[in-house]
Amino acid sequence: MSPTEITGRTRIYGILADPIHHVKTPQVMNALLRRHGVEGVLVPFHVAPGGLQDLLGGLRRTGNFGGFIATVPHKTAMLRLCDRVSSAAEMIGAVNCVRREADGSLSGTMLDGIGFIEGLRAAGVEPRGLSAYLAGAGGAGRAIAFALAEAGVTRLTIANRTLKRARELAEAVAAAFPAVAVSAGTEGLSDHDLIVNATSLGLDPADPPPVDVTQLRPGQVVAEAIMEPEVTPLLEAAKACGCRVQPGRPMLDSQIALMARHMGALS
């Protein structure tokens, strides 16, 4: 039987998002499942925050459902909706991959940070020893902040629309990684080696830029967590300034196998 054929034995996996049109995960995950001969399929679920708990109630009771990926804006909410979470997810305060156990309970973890760092390294960018400026303190931002600190950046500046949230994240990262100089604010973007957008700004072409692009300088690495569009307005501005750019897709590619294993699709 071809693994692309859906039958009564097909294992179902999902990705939960709002909006959903931009996600690239189904194509990448399903290609991986086909390569490994897995009789499973990952499908998109468009669910707004108000409907998230009701959807999970149904998925818990769906016997052929194996798990799901959670993305914007559900990562932080998923922490309290899972029955158990990994220590990494607990520290970060967000979940982006959930396994449905045989009894219907949900086990969550966070793989955004690992995926982002591995995506950088695959492109030849080693974070160790760099100074990093991170825009965004939400679910993806938290994961990437801890991952950058663990990867050995020397300095980390966290910017967020709500400064209080950026300060709280900076304090948490500094407590976990005291060797890293961590601060909150929007100053000094031009003084950093690595600029990271972990906000949702850029999904819509009409969005304002997530950082002050007039401060970009040649030689900086500007990286996105957004998958679609592949080249966001931020990356366009960065290329025009002579920066090296890193789109969001490598982060996804680096996470896919980890996510498939966590959901039980791959051993």
Task: For residue range 149-158, list pLDDT tens digits in order.
Answer: 999 999 999 9
Tell me: pLDDT of 69 over 70.
Answer: yes
pLDDT of residue 100: 98
Q: Please report the pLDDT score of residue 2 as a whole number.
A: 45
Statement: residue 127 has pLDDT above 60: yes
Predicted local distance difference test score (pLDDT) of residue 1? 37
* Cβ-based neighbour number of residue 151 at 10 Å: 23
pLDDT above 80 (res 98): yes
Can you give the pTM of this predicted structure? Answer: 0.80
**CA 243, CA 64: separation in Å to the nearest integer?**
46
Burial 216-244 (b: 16+ CB within 10 A, else e): beeebbbbbbbbebeebbbbebbeebebb
d(CA 44, CA 195): 30
**DSSP strands (E only) in the chain:** 11-17, 40-46, 65-70, 84-85, 97-100, 106-109, 131-135, 155-159, 181-184, 194-197, 221-224, 244-246
pLDDT tens across 222-241, in order? 999 998 899 999 999 999 99
The three-point CA angle 216-144-168 to 5° equals 95
d(CA 25, CA 28): 5
The listed range with the strongest mean pLDDT (55-59, 71-75, 199-203, 248-252) is 55-59
Q: Across residues 117-143, what is the average pLDDT?
A: 94
The single residue listed with the structure tokens 């969001």 is 248
Instruction: Name the most confidently modeled range: 69-73, 93-97, 117-121, 130-134.
Output: 130-134
pLDDT at 4: 62
Residue type, 140: A
Q: Which amino acid is at 83?
A: D
For residue 19, is the peptide bond before it cis, meaning its omega torsion is within 30 degrees of 0? Answer: yes
The pLDDT value recorded for residue 3 is 47
What's the mean pLDDT in 89-97?
A: 92
Phi and psi at 201, nearest 5°, equal -70, 120
Tell me which H or E stretch contains 120: helix 112-122
Instruction: For the chain, give the mean pLDDT.
Output: 94
How high is the pLDDT of residue 168?
A: 97
Task: Give the active site residue among 24, 75, 164, 239.
Answer: 75
pLDDT range class, residue 24, cuts 50, 70, 90 = confident
| CA gyration radius, the chain | 18
CB atoms closer than 10 angstroms to residue 259: 28
Average pLDDT over residues 89-114: 94
Question: pLDDT band for position 139 (50/70/90)?
Answer: confident
DSSP string, 158-211: EE-SSHHHHHHHHHHHHHH-TTSEEEESS--GGG-SEEEE-SSTTSSTTSPPSS
Q: Which residue has the higher pLDDT, 71 or 3?
A: 71
Is 75 part of the annotated catalytic residue set?
yes
